[in-house]
Chains A and B, each alone.
Chain A
Amino acid sequence: MTQASFFPFGPIKSVIGKCIYLPGNDIDTDRIIPARFLKCVNFEALGNQVFMDDRKEIDNLHPFDNDNNKNASILIVDKNFGCGSSREHAPQALMRWGIRAIIGQSFAEIFYGNCLSIGIPCVTMSEPNIKSLIYKVNTFKQLLFNIDIQSKKIIAEEDSWPLKIEKESRKMLTSGAWDATSILINGKEKINITMKKIPYLNSFII
């Protein structure tokens, strides 16, 4: 496990690190962090518990147990990663293991939002591009990759691959506004105006 020296903070314009590839479509959040580990009142212990059952049941070495992947901070996945439960414990577990960004063919929606709200960019790539990226990762196991959110590219040495990111997410990450609380609170006057228009808060209050 990568010791997380610091968690995401402030504007996130790029993430540089080693990649770890986890194959498989539809990997759900129960697999990322089994429900029994949700019995906690803080997220601190989750890093060691990530993919616990998959790691136990797999016939060969699970990528998260492979020494080659030690200190990796960029997770590469296939399609519909993070489907199922809304548990933020899933991205929290990945983050506490050391993951700082995820590249995939597609993500489940709640998982994507949960990652964004803790400063973990989820970027997408086409299947051929991701295959080419994985080839590079497998060939040069210690190579550092740069997810450049500003220029929407993944860069490694002389190679680069285009990435896709929702424009709202890109703005939130690069401006540091991914931690939405303070921005939302600043809208209090407008919140009050909206509340005055909503029938169930005014004309038929319960």
Chain B
Amino acid sequence: MSCKTLYDKVWDLHRVRELPSGSTQLFIGLHLIHEVTSPQAFSSLEEKGLNLFCPERTIATVDHIVPTTNQIRPFSDHLAEEMLKKLEENCSKHSIKLFNLGSGNQGIVHVIAPEIGLTQPGMTIACGDSHTSTHGAFGSIAFGIGTSQVRDVFASQTLAMKKLKVRRLSFLGKLKKGVFAKDLILHVIQKLGVKAGVGYAYEFSGPAIENLSMEERMTICNMSIEGGARCGYINPDKKTFDYLEGKDYSPKGKNWDAAVQWWKSLSSDEDAIYDDEVVFDAAQIAPTITWGITPGQAIAIDSLIPKPEALEKSDQQTALEAYKYMNLKPGTSLEGLKIDVCFIGSCTNGRLSDLKKAAEIVKERKVAKGVKAFVVPGSEKVAKEAEKEGLHQIFIKAGFEWRKPGCSMCLAMNPDKLEKDQISASSSNRNFKGRQGSSKGRTLLMSPAMVAAAAVNGSIVDVRKIIN
């Protein structure tokens, strides 16, 4: 009898050999690249006189640096223009498929690969971006890598890796109304901490997870890395197969049947052995929001910012730093906190269902005076679908700006930035100091519905009060 996790099965299948150092040479089934972490990898490859081993298994797009207002070339930011040019040159030289601006398939790398069916169960997926864990939502083993490792994948389609342990996070019950996938993952990171996942892959399972749509599952796996876990995954099921059926890169006809049959065999066995297990009750989770400078510094919206003495000793110093940076007082509530900017987008929450949930809140309402609010769809496809459904009109009518796809103010490598110590209600994934483009800027992470609620309210509010 097999007693393997999905992680074990995918790892075993892709294992090439054990290296003299003791690490494993692992085959990478899909390599995704973008303009920020690839140029040095190409240069280094060329310096070594090497070529791409499997150029057909690398797919490129441009996302981090693209402006979301005017995308006419050349970009006004010459550094951004230079980066895209370099990517275009490199892709053309090495015969790599590039989904460029205006191709209809450009967008945030972790949004486009699933939506065109490149991401499939049982694959190993690597990308020079830590949010590659997103693709685990399909039952693939997906993780972020650095630029030297991007070069290694170029040269050999493999990586030297150490096998991770697996922690199963089981979610019983069902999320309550007004509570979303984002709240679930922020809750997990708050409970387990930002370091707990180091050395682990996270398997998300249980009825509350099975109940989620593929897009919601992507939100969960996306933020595994914020809990320290380089990769997170969900066992594939009917929802996974239904999502993939008919996508551009999904297998077709007889191949489809063969694929589904294989995908079904990948789920963790019932008697699989885990290195650790944690059980959560999904019904106990409330809308969750960060108050500090790490994604683990979060609270349920109806509770108070913790006092230092209530925290683990090792977390107290970072908490003191956070109160000061955020200019927030322990023991107070976040509800009513005035906000300056609302950002809906990112690889965490920039998909169609995210925009729909936000649109439901803003419909027939107006963005509060003095608040700058904007929506950045995750991809050209998301933008097109949203526009087809008229979501853009809802946002524009309410006073939001409707932008073009890209990573945008999640990390502010393009012109979308906070100014001075502005407070941002953001559907993105990181609230690190300076993350959104100002060295004093303050970010509060929350679900797209909570961001939308903050936008119309002008301050942080429990979204459940608005929808009820």
Contact = CB atoms under 8 A, between A and B. Distances in A.
Contact of A53 (B22, B159, B228, B433): B433
B440 A57 contact: yes
Nearest to B43: A42
Give the one of B123, B157, B194, B315 with max A CB within 10 A: B194
Interface string B268-311: 00000000000000000000000000100000000000000000
Interface in B315-360: 315, 317-318, 321
A30 B435 contact: yes
Contact of B194 (A83, A177, A206): A83
Interface in A1-49: 24-26, 28, 30-31, 34-36, 38-43
A183 B145 contact: no
B259 interface: yes
A110 B33 CA distance: 17
Given A36-B437, A198-B29, A184 B152 contact: yes
B27 A184 contact: no
A110 B145 contact: yes
Given A30-B430, A53-B439, A110-B146, A183 B249 contact: no
A84 B198 CA distance: 12
Interface string B161-176: 0100000000000000
Contact of A57 (B25, B199, B439): B439
A25 B318 contact: yes
Given A34-B434, A38-B413, A87-B37, A194 B16 contact: yes
B411 A35 contact: yes
B156 A80 contact: no
A26 B437 CA distance: 19
A113 B439 contact: no
B146 A117 contact: yes
Contacts of A191: 16, 25, 27, 53, 156-158
Contact of B156 (A166, A177, A181): A181
Interface stretch (B76-84, B92-100, B103-111, B455-463): B76-84
A109 B228 contact: yes
Contacts of A109: 198-199, 228, 230
Contacts of B23: 168, 172
B27 A199 contact: no
Contacts of B50: 181, 185
Interface residues of A, number: 69
A148 interface: no
A206 B247 CA distance: 11
A86 B37 contact: yes
A202 to B, nearest CB: 10
Given A39-B79, A181-B48, A204 B259 contact: yes
A118 B439 contact: no
Contacts of B132: 86
Contacts of B16: 187, 190-191, 193-194
Interface of A: 24-26, 28, 30-31, 34-36, 38-43, 53-54, 56-57, 79-80, 83-89, 91-92, 106-110, 113-114, 117-118, 166-169, 171-172, 175, 177, 179-181, 183-185, 187-188, 190-191, 193-195, 197-201, 203-206
26 contacts: A25-B315, A36-B412, A39-B65, A41-B43, A53-B434, A57-B440, A85-B411, A88-B40, A108-B228, A114-B149, A117-B149, A168-B21, A168-B22, A168-B162, A177-B19, A177-B20, A177-B21, A179-B148, A181-B48, A181-B50, A181-B152, A184-B158, A187-B158, A188-B156, A195-B27, A205-B255
Given A24-B321, A110-B146, 5 more contacts: A24-B317, A180-B152, A184-B159, A198-B14, A206-B255
